[in-house]
Structure 1
Amino acid sequence: MAVSFKKTYKFAVKSALYITLFSTGLVVFLMFFFLDFSLPFTICFAISIGMFSFFVLQYRVEHFIYRRVKKIYDDVSLLESSTFRNQPITTDMATLTREVQKFATDKKLEIEMLKVREEYRREFLGNVSHELKTPLFTVQGYLSTLLDGAMNDKSIRKKYLERAEKGVERLIYIVQDLDMITKLEVGDLNLEITKFDIIKLVQNVFDLLEMEASKKDILLLFDMKYNKPIMVVGDREKIEQVITNLVMNSVKYGKENGSTEVSIESLTENKIIVRITDNGEGIEKPHISRLFERFYRVDKSGSRDAGGSGLGLSIVKHIIEAHDERIYVESQFGIGSEFSFTLEKAK
């Protein structure tokens, strides 16, 4: 049966074999001419010199390659030196090449991820600055006008103070939303889990947003008549905020004389799915994956005419994930959008 050596030892085995053959041949030659030939002595000598050569070569080559490869890794910062301390050293260049490629690929992906995060950080800070700057400058402008003499006119004073108040309210709204997202991300926002009727909750949202929808002649409706309550488990207040944000977005970006429809379906034995569907503008595919980012807006013009803090969908996503549930979005540009999320059924 052929002996199968590890590939990492092939170099040392072959080199030791060459040295053994040469050394043994030399000894046999010297013994033949100068001493009496002894087969046992020759065999012992061959075995000894072979083993000695193998271990010396293996040890020396491993450390030779290790020191130089490690230095290269340290110099180019591709690998962490601790990686080698925890793994046996190999003289197999194919293995080393695979390890280099693997770690280089991992580092490349890590660098690309860091670049993406840095770009997101810059974009996020720019968006925060823009969102805060607009109401701040508005408030400052109205107050400066009043201080410059317009305060003496009662009608102007009241109008400007009311507008300044709206700017302050917008600032408070943005800060509160940011605070909520931060708490959701770090897990500091406690959920008050109770049983409630999701049908009744949706109807409450409809009642709240009915006047807003009527401004654009948008009809708020259920997809069918629900004759009995559908009880679910969750934080009632937070789920109401989720539905409010989704329906409000549907109204904001919906077409006049359009509709926003809510449907509630049984998804599995323990889950329901709530769908909010509209026939509005729809969302182009490249934007869908970024919809739930903070301050991300499909409209890159910088317009804030639609109002809001730009944090609504991000808050929605965090609230749903805090319930260990999932949220989905499907949209066709020019046709409409559907946002849906799951909830646990009450037992």
Structure 2
Amino acid sequence: MSERPLCEGRVVVVTGAGRGLGRAHALAFAAEGARIVVNDLGVGLDGTPGEGGPAARVAEEIRAAGGEAVAHGGDIATAEGAASLVRTALEAYGRLDTLVNNAGFLRDRMLVNLEEDDWDAVMRVHLKGHFLPLKHAAAYWRTEAKAGRTPSARVVNTSSGAGLLGSVGQGNYSAAKAGIVGLTLVAAAELGRYGVQVNAIAPAARTRMTERTFAETMAAPGTGFDAMAPENVSPLVVWLGSAAGAGVTGRVFETEGGRITVMEGWRPGPSADKGARRTPSEAGETALKLLAAAETPGAVYGAS
């Protein structure tokens, strides 16, 4: 007897799904029986207008393989674009079960060269582009829960190692991706009562954003396994976006190739309490003693 597809009957929205990781996620969900809303604005790597139609092409690819998909070309970093994204799912399929926030682009600069527009643009697409779809999807799920139809809803956000450790030349991107982790934790805490689980991934894969970084990393000789293929990340995303991951929420997973790591965030380390106010010199002396007993943080990507 064949195994039932993991996401049979579920309706899944994937933002930034015209290429790279988002496309891989959309195809993987469709292969597991989900009906897909493929969102992509069709902009270039830096967020400027580019060739149109990537969402429609991926939706057609899914349909050609026997799946169900519709395209959405709206800007999910606007209130109307995010609202229309949720409406598209409801109008096409009558429900929404999973939201995968993936859309993003880069405008890398060292901090002294980083323009305000570069900061705002990256914050807008990554952080606001996570918040607004999440807000509108959550409003729908809350309404369903209050009507007695508590969903088995899932959100998978996309952070980055840059957001967890920092990355030289990516102050805007690192800050946005760190913000996504904070948003994930709050959303998981707030939305659990409505049947919504919220997690985040920090993926490493070869996409338009990382093709230079991973250009030399190809399939290992004799194995045929390309560790940097975006398709390696999607199985975890599909599982997190399915009903199978019941009880998993508020967590961050780093994923690359065949490796999955549960990331453990800020938690109290060495501590000292004098019970009274310290002088600056005493505070410094105490801080140095505590630092000597603390774990060394991971290195910032690109730091010499």
The question of a shared fold, defined as TM-score above 0.5 by the shorter chain, is answered with no
Shorter-chain TM-score tier: under 0.3
The structure richer in helix per residue is 1
From the CA coordinates, give the structure whose radius of gyration is larger: 1
- Which protein, 1 or 2, shows the higher relative CO under an 8 Å CA cutoff with sep ≥ 6? 2
